[in-house]
Copies of this chain bind each other. A is one copy, B any other.
């Protein structure tokens, strides 16, 4: 199983193949995912690790078309939120812990640790859930755009204290077959014992820049290097109300 004389073909299998097949899907047929497949993906998702079994997350399945359209509008607009087969909102869930701690007669204590564990464990769950759906033949697309206006999302979903929406997830039967967006080389992401020097880091980035620009050119998108996209993105503050919103819902960040 783990001898050093593996041949290359032994480094892959159906699980790894499912991961490698991932592309975000932005066009779907309207068919909802059958409940049985959602249930199978839930159980597989929940099998992911969770810190001290705290399970600090929940997932809302939005089947109400009016709510779907309102979320599609605030998230971009991104019409796929309305039009994909099934749409979900993944949340950090501190509420269960609040209810339990208060039922025991204690004050609920929280801080960045609880928020971070919420975001991390929700995402370990979400990636299993997403990959399980992909293994069943569906396409997926995470929707960070719900963070454009969390107070409005909160009103649409009528969320109680302690439920913190992180991102959405479109899923369903793909109605397109896009190419794979290239990634930074593994050598730019995995380091032995020591983070690299700026020179080494930027050399990896320079190599990736041309690959990324070619990918955009091939798709007919505005060609830009990765560096050009990143430099533009991080020259402006993004979604500045985020901390205030999460704190208003019971998180403590600082």
Q: Pick the contact of A46: B4, B108, B186 (CB < 8 A).
A: B186
Closest CB in chain B relative to A15 CB, distance in Å: 4
Q: Which residues of B contact A52 (CB under 8 A)?
A: 144, 229, 233
Answer whether A238 and B2 are a contact pair too, CB < 8 Å, given A19-B47, A142-B51, A189-B42: no
Closest CB in chain B relative to A183 CB, distance in Å: 4
Q: Pick the contact of A128: B19, B24, B39 (CB < 8 A).
A: B19
Contact A16 B135 (CB under 8 A): yes
User: Is A201 close to B, CB under 8 A?
Assistant: yes
- Contact mask for chain A residues 84-109; partner B; CB cutoff 8 A; 1 contact, 0 none: 01000000010111111101101111
Q: Pick the contact of A173: B2, B15, B38 (CB < 8 A).
A: B2
What number of A residues sit within 8 Å (CB to CB) of B? 137
Q: Pick the contact of A230: B96, B144, B180, B226 (CB < 8 A).
A: B96
User: Is A155 close to B, CB under 8 A?
Assistant: no
Contacting residues of chain A (166-197) with chain B, CB-CB under 8 angstroms:
166-167, 172-173, 180-181, 183-184, 186, 189-195
Q: Pick the contact of A48: B22, B136, B237 (CB < 8 A).
A: B22
User: Is A152 close to B, CB under 8 A?
Assistant: no
Q: Which residues of B contact A226 (CB under 8 A)?
A: 53
- Contact mask for chain A residues 206-250; partner B; CB cutoff 8 A; 1 contact, 0 none: 000000100000000000001111110111111110110011000
Interface residues of A (CB under 8 A from B): 1-4, 6, 8, 11-16, 18-20, 22, 24, 31, 33-34, 36-55, 57-64, 67, 85, 93, 95-101, 103-104, 106-114, 116-117, 119-120, 123-124, 126-128, 130-132, 134-138, 140-142, 144, 147, 157-160, 163, 166-167, 172-173, 180-181, 183-184, 186, 189-195, 198, 201-202, 205, 212, 226-231, 233-240, 242-243, 246-247, 253-254
23 sampled A-B residue pairs with Cβ under 8 A: A2-B33, A2-B37, A6-B36, A8-B36, A11-B39, A15-B131, A16-B136, A22-B47, A43-B186, A46-B183, A53-B181, A54-B230, A55-B189, A60-B194, A61-B192, A96-B230, A97-B230, A99-B202, A111-B242, A131-B131, A157-B193, A157-B195, A253-B254
